[in-house]
Amino acid sequence: MKLYIILTILLFTNFCLFVNSATFKNDKFYRITKCDPNQKCKYTFSLVGGENLGSDGESGSGKIHADSIKFDDSFNDTFRTARQLDELLDTPETLVVRGVFTKQLRSYSFTIVDLFKELPLPDSSAAPPATGKLYYLQSNVLLCRFGNCGSMDAVNVNDKDDVVAVKDLSDPYVTIEGFDGIWYRDALTDRRIMIQIEPNTNIKVVRSYAQIVTGHACRVSGNLMCRSDQTPVYKRDEYLCTHPDGCVDSPKSCDVSTLQCPAGYKHISIPMRPTGCKVNYCDPPFLH
């Protein structure tokens, strides 16, 4: 009799969990903020563009509060440790995410499937708040050189019908000393960067968010075996990973000046073609 009662309770509990759980996913991007201390939640999700989420996950007047955030299994090959992933959640207000909500009884959890993080600005205090719409750029890479971008459109990340024509692009990131403008340009036109543009203008970028691409963890490059009179050189790919690029004649002299990267950036020094001298970069550390 006792066994029957226990089994009945377990079956009833599992049934209640089933009927009170729901999972939903859409293709919209959300911003995250931490809940106030007096709220019974940890995170609040709002649709990018100022529109909030309803309690059913559709557009509405409410917001969704979540008690936990986890990362999709595809991120296991992106960072070497779970700690590095968890560190991203220390500043959730710098993230833009897309993923899956799961409701269990009265609380939600969120699984991140697609992740963008804000690129630091040297003077973020002068930038408008991180609110409002975000855009991808669509352009001909061969025409775009940050001053003569030809035909270019900015497309709302949450509304493909919201398109802004852009003729010239003013962008504070490309003025950062050591910033890899070639990588940035390619990522802009490959939807690996989304931008916030200044209200009432279509030419000034005020914030950029770079995608943390799953399945592209940078591996430690092995040392090249070169002759004693040669220097091993390396190249960077579209994800800022370093790869061996052969050997060149050792340089007779190189500029030994050091590069002081602004706050939020990591100094990277790589011997590269054609001279074999080290080239200095200031990279966002979360992309390495």
Domain limits, the chain: 16-116, 119-211, 230-282
User: What b/e sequence results for 28-64 when a residue is b if at least 16 CB atoms lie within 10 Å of its CB, and e otherwise?
Assistant: bbbbbeeeeeeeebbbbbbbbbeeebeeebeeeeebb
Query: Which positions ≥6 away from 150 have C-beta within 8 Å?
Result: 139, 140, 143, 144
Q: Name which of 58, 64, 61 is nearest 31 in CA terms.
A: 64
Highest mean pLDDT of the ranges 58-72, 135-149, 209-223:
209-223
95 three-state secondary structure: strand
Minimal CA–CA distance to 53: which of 15, 84, 99?
99
SS3 assignment, position 82 = helix
- C-alpha closest to that of 268 among 226, 230, 240: 240
What tens digit of pLDDT does each residue of 45-63 get?
999 986 555 444 444 444 7
Task: Tell me the pTM.
Answer: 0.84
Q: Which stretch of DSSP H or E encloses residue 256?
A: none
Per-residue pLDDT averaged across 171-198, rounded? 93
pLDDT band for position 274 (cuts 50, 70, 90): very high
Task: Give dist(CA 193, CA 51) in Å, integer.
Answer: 21
Query: CA-to-CA distance for 192 and 175, rounded, in angstroms?
Result: 20
Separation of first and last alpha carbons in the chain: 60
pLDDT category of residue 105 using cuts at 50, 70 and 90: confident
C-alpha–C-alpha distance, residues 65 and 44, integer Å:
5
CB 140 within 8 A of CB 123: no
Specify the higher pLDDT residue, 82 or 214. 214
Residues 245-269 have pLDDT tens digits of: 999 999 999 988 889 999 999 999 9
pLDDT of residue 192: 96
Q: Which one is predicted more confidently, 75 or 66?
A: 66
pLDDT of residue 148: 52
Task: Specify the pLDDT at position 216.
Answer: 72
Q: What is the pLDDT of residue 254?
A: 95
- Looking at residues 39-49, what average pLDDT do you find? 90
Q: State the DSSP string of 31-43.
A: EEEEPPTTSS-SE
pLDDT at 113 over 80: yes
